[in-house]
């Protein structure tokens, strides 16, 4: 609902008509007259509409914004008149845009046929679809070409390996000062067994294992880690910084402070009346009965 509808006036209303309509509506929906929420909201809408329309500059701006918004408004009727999609302002006629079906646009005094435009847009859509399909097929071709190139490279690698294997059995020119001018490649494998001297290498055991040096070293490192790092270092740190859970240090300090205070005041270290006898509630002899009291 626009400001003209709120004030119940036409768009060609004069300042006097706006003022008269505003005064009538403002008295009708005044908050002092009716205290419901709807009346208050209506009062605010009327006040805002009148503030915009009473100013000529604000009214011109509002009319132009209203005209722009009305362009997207569809008039859905079987028959329409000229007054339903146009209005006059300063001897100029403005027309609202009205779409009739899917082929006609009514935005001036003449009716323009849009059937040809729709045909052109359909042709463009088909061209775009065909170009997208061609693009996807081109990508597939490029991907297949790259895969064929990779397979060819793999074949070349296998051929290269086969050539290397055949060269190992070929006879080569010898550079050694032997009688033979040629020599064959030695295919004997190197022995991986340790030498006899390394098996009987002397080592000092830490007392964990006298046969396997590696096992003995592992046990030694583990024992040093647990005894020195965990027990000695972390244990001493815990004992040094452990909190006083039983508050022994606190109670001892408080006791010494209390004794010093009583000595300075000339009192006994421990008062016999530390607890007020009047506050002590002892049971009567009837309640005690035959109960033995041990002092």
Q: What is the CATH number of the domain that holds 63?
A: 1.10.287.110
pLDDT of 118 above 60: no
Report which of residues 114 and 136 the model is more confident about.
136
pLDDT at 264: 94
Mean pLDDT value of segment 177-184? 52
Burial of 180 from C-beta contacts in 10 A (0-12 / 13-18 / 19+) = exposed
Q: CA-to-CA distance for 37 and 49, rounded, in angstroms?
A: 19
Task: Tell which wins on pLDDT, 282 or 95.
Answer: 282
Domain termination residue (choose one: 189, 220, 238): 238
pLDDT reported for residue 279 = 86
On whether residue 151 sits in a domain, the answer given is no
Residue 76 has pLDDT above 70, yes or no: no
pTM of the entire structure? 0.26
Give the closest residue to 7 by CA, choosing from 28, 22, 23, 17.
Answer: 22
Inside any domain, residue 49 = yes
Q: Is the pLDDT of residue 78 over 60?
A: no
Q: Is residue 100 part of a domain?
A: no
Boundary of a domain, candidates 15, 42, 70: 70
Q: Which domain holds residue 55?
A: 1-70
Q: Tell me if 56 sits within 8 A of 14, measured CB to CB.
A: no
* DSSP H stretches of helix in 90-243: 115-168, 196-199, 213-224, 235-241
What is the predicted pLDDT for the residue at 215?
92
Which pLDDT does position 172 carry in this prediction?
52
Q: Is the pLDDT of residue 74 over 50?
A: no
pLDDT > 90 fraction of the chain, expressed in percent and rounded = 6
pLDDT at 217: 92
Residue 153 main-chain phi, psi, to 5 deg? -65, -40
- 252, containing H or E segment: helix 248-264
Domains contained in the chain, number: 2
From residue 115, how far is each of 75, 100, 105, 118, 289 by CA, in Å? Answer: 20, 12, 10, 5, 120
* Rounded Cα–Cα distance for residues 246 and 30 (Å): 76
Torsion from C-alpha of 33, 35, 37, 43, nearest 10 degrees: 30
- pLDDT tens for residues 82-117? 555 565 665 556 555 555 544 444 444 444 444 455
- The stretch 279-290 carries a mean pLDDT of 85
Q: Count of residues for the chain?
A: 295
Flag whether pLDDT at 56 surpasses 50: yes
- Read off the pLDDT of each residue in 261-278 and give the average, rounded to a whole number: 86
């Amino acid at each position: 609902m626009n400001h003209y509808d709120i004030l119940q006036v036409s768009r060609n209303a004069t300042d006097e008509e706006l003022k008269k309509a505003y005064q009538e509506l403002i008295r009708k929906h005044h908050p002092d007259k009716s205290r419901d929420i709807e009346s208050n909201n209506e009062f605010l809408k009327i006040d805002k509409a009148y503030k915009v329309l009473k100013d000529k500059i604000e009214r011109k701006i509002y009319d132009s914004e209203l005209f722009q918004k009305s362009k997207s408004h569809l008039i859905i009727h079987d028959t329409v008149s000229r007054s339903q999609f146009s209005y006059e302002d300063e001897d100029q006629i403005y027309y609202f845009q009205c779409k009739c079906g899917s082929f006609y646009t009514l935005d001036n005094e003449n009716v323009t046929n849009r059937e040809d435009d729709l045909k052109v847009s359909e042709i463009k859509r088909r061209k775009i679809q065909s170009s997208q399909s061609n693009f996807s097929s081109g990508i597939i071709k490029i991907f297949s070409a790259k895969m064929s190139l990779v397979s060819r490279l793999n074949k070349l690698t296998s051929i290269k390996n086969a050539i290397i294997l055949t060269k190992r059995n070929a006879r080569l020119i010898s550079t050694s000062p032997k009688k033979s001018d040629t020599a064959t490649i030695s295919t004997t494998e190197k022995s991986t067994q340790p030498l006899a001297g390394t098996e009987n290498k002397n080592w000092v055991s830490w007392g964990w294992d006298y046969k396997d040096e590696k096992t003995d070293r592992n046990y030694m490192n583990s024992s040093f880690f647990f005894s020195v790092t965990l027990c000695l270092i972390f244990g001493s740190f815990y004992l040094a910084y452990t909190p006083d859970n039983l508050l022994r240090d606190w109670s001892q300090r408080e006791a010494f402070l209390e004794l010093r205070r009583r000595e300075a005041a000339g009192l006994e270290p421990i008062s016999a009346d530390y607890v007020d006898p009047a506050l002590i509630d002892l049971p009567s002899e009837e309640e005690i009965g035959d109960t033995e009291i041990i002092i």
